[in-house]
Amino acid sequence: MALSSMTFAPLALLLLLLGSTSANLSPNFYASSCPKLFPTVKHVVQSAIAKEKRMGASLLRLLFHDCFVQGCDASLLLDDTSSFRGEKTAAPNNNSVRGFDVIDKIKAAVEEVCPGVVSCADIVVITSRDSVVILGGPYWEVTLGRRDSKTASFSLANNNIPPPTSSLSNLISKFAAVGLSKKDMVALSGAHTIGKARCINFRSRIYNETDINGSFAKKRQKKCPRTAGSGDNNLAPLDVQTQNYFDNDYYENLINEKGLLHSDQVLFNGGSTDSQVKTYTTSPGTFYRDFVTGMINMAAINPLTGSKGEIRKNCRKIN
């Protein structure tokens, strides 16, 4: 009896501590400390998207690239300095992730109404939700209470964020490594219903792959020359139908072999995720529900809570 309680007490404590990280996140976290938080964020996101539609996509993507590296801790937002290498120039991010100026504007507006209270990590979470809603996608309640890291990881940014050349099994394992399921992966990939990609990331697909619609490949080849190095940064929409509208077209494109990235089309090419893709083409409600679940799960990856980390004053640098 005495022996078993001695054995199990530390285990119970450990379970309590592990459970407490996401249990500490709550929709009401800033209810009294920053009651104007939600309208303040939404206002800035709205005007940024009104100015440039693509920005909604860019802001949504920030959550993915932040949360896959050390968890959702705003590590992505830290600028490089002469003595600090952050994540912004890692391969998946360099010349690609954008929207940092909008995050700065949101942070400044939030600091105006409640200085020193709201983390940059939570701002990224709220901003991603607002972007989806503004572009016509589903609404969901976000949980808050994350704190900001004092570190970043260039190497984890390179290792954890899957490249567009990924096979289906690589995608599944990169998501599993951060605790997300295959189902989450397929639903979250539906984010590619908005935004753009650079030629360098789809060149080999449009010239060399066979599971691609011929007229679609030709259309994309017009602004993406075959020769490596030429037109690398030319942009094309990820969703051939409605690049500024958050809908389920992405999955219809896959069924028609019009996925732009290799990593898009592998979700529908005879493998274990075909049936989920098919379901989303006929049931947008199921896609929205699973996407929201995926976003909530992704936003819960390894948050800093309690007295860990800090509340940054400026999202680009540690205090």
Ligand X SMILES: *[C@@H]1O[C@H](CO)[C@@H](O)[C@H](O)[C@H]1NC(C)=O
Q: How far is the CB of 239 from ligand HEM (least distance, A)?
A: 10
CB of 129 or CB of 203, closer to ligand X: 203
Look up residue 125 and give its amino acid. V
Find the binder of ligand HEM among 37, 191, 212, 296 (CB under 6 A).
191
Q: How many CB atoms lie within 10 A of CB 200?
A: 17
Residue 230 Cα distances to 207, 223, 226, 257, 270, angstroms: 14, 10, 8, 25, 33
Q: Any contact of residue 158 with ligand X (CB under 6 A)?
A: no
Comparing CA positions, the residue from 97, 212, 198, 216 lying closest to residue 157 is 97
| Residue from 61, 65, 203, 316 carrying the catalytic annotation | 65
d(Cα 319, Cα 64) in Å, to the nearest integer? 24
Q: Any contact of residue 215 with ligand X (CB under 6 A)?
A: yes
Q: Indicate which of ligand X, ligand HEM, none lies near residue 204 (CB less than 5 to 8 Å, by partner kind).
A: ligand X
Q: Any contact of residue 282 with ligand X (CB under 6 A)?
A: no
Find the binder of ligand X among 203, 262, 312, 316 (CB under 6 A).
203
- Tokens 């939700």 belong to residue: 129
Phi, psi of 24 (to 5 degrees): -75, -10
Does the annotation list 56 as a binding residue? no
CB of 88 or CB of 192, closer to ligand X: 88
User: Quick one: tokens of 42?
Assistant: 């939404």
The partner residues of 81 in beta bridges, in order of sequence, read 84
Residue 107 Cα distances to 79, 228, 282, angstroms: 15, 39, 39
Q: Any contact of residue 77 with ligand HEM (CB under 6 A)?
A: no
Does the annotation list 111 as a binding residue? no
Using CB under 6 A as the criterion, what x/- string covers residues 95-124 for binding ligand HEM? -x-x--------------------------
Does the annotation list 242 as a binding residue? yes
Contacting ligand HEM within 149-168 (CB under 6 A): 162, 164, 166
Does the annotation list 247 as a binding residue? yes
65 among known catalytic residues: yes
Q: Which residues are catalytic?
A: 65
Query: Which stretches of the chain bind ligand X, using CB under 6 A?
Result: 89, 94-95, 203-204, 207-208, 213, 215-216, 226
Q: Cite the annotated binding site for substrate by residue number.
A: 162
Query: Which stretches of the chain bind ligand HEM, using CB under 6 A?
Result: 54, 57-58, 60-61, 64, 96, 98, 162, 164, 166, 171, 185, 188-189, 191-192, 194-198, 201, 261, 263
Q: Cite the annotated binding site for heme b by residue number.
A: 192
